A and B are shown apart, each in its own frame.
Chain A
């Protein structure tokens, strides 16, 4: 079936290094993608989004890349900090649909 998933369930990086979190999706009709960050005991928080008519979008220390050819989404975090330790979810939204689907999440751990 169609789904949103993540390549790696956990990722550990050294403070100051760059982090890359990957996500695969299978529904080519999806036109909107979001990355969320969830800290322990809290609800997910929006990080950055991208529409299917773009292949790259940058925010503060974060970049999202979208490769529609291989249905792949990635989140890059520059100069990763201890405060970036959290679970990161990608989510996709289907065109004309309110059913936002989430991946299982990747736990990012930043080592000091």
Chain B
């Protein structure tokens, strides 16, 4: 089915480990985004990409790395996970700077 999919949906890891969250969209949207959602903070932008090979920092980029070698994929990597990165991560895509289409989320727990 067309849409935006995230994997894994649930992940438990340990402090210091590398974790990669995957995001794949089938709409050929130019823009892709990674948000984290925490109680009391709403959704905060981590990184976004306007096109393949173009990425920019958002509000809370520290500790995260992204890449976009293909239009449809936008993986988010935590190079050395910390407990403060325990959160629900949402990937989103859009045609432009308008409406965002969100994935179902990836719940990450860092022990």
Contact = CB atoms under 8 A, between A and B. Distances in A.
A102 B35 CA distance: 10
B105 A98 contact: no
A23 B98 CA distance: 19
B78 interface: no
A100 B59 CA distance: 10
Interface in B1-55: 31, 33, 35, 40-45, 48, 50
A32 B97 contact: yes
Interface string B59-73: 100000000000000
Q: Is the interface of B mostly helix, strand, loop or mixed?
A: strand
Given A44-B90, A46-B99, A99 B58 contact: yes
A98 B42 contact: no
- For B31, B59, B92, B99, which residue has the most chain A Cβ atoms within 10 angstroms? B99
A104 B105 CA distance: 17
A97 interface: yes
Interface of B: 31, 33, 35, 40-45, 48, 50, 56, 58-59, 90, 92, 97-105
Given A41-B105, A44-B102, 9 more contacts: A43-B105, A44-B90, A46-B101, A91-B43, A99-B59, A100-B97, A100-B100, A102-B35, A103-B42
Interface of A: 32, 34, 36, 41-46, 49, 89, 91, 93, 97-105
Q: Return the 8 tightest CB-CB contacts between A and B, nearest first.
A: A43-B102, A102-B43, A104-B42, A102-B42, A46-B99, A44-B102, A98-B97, A98-B48
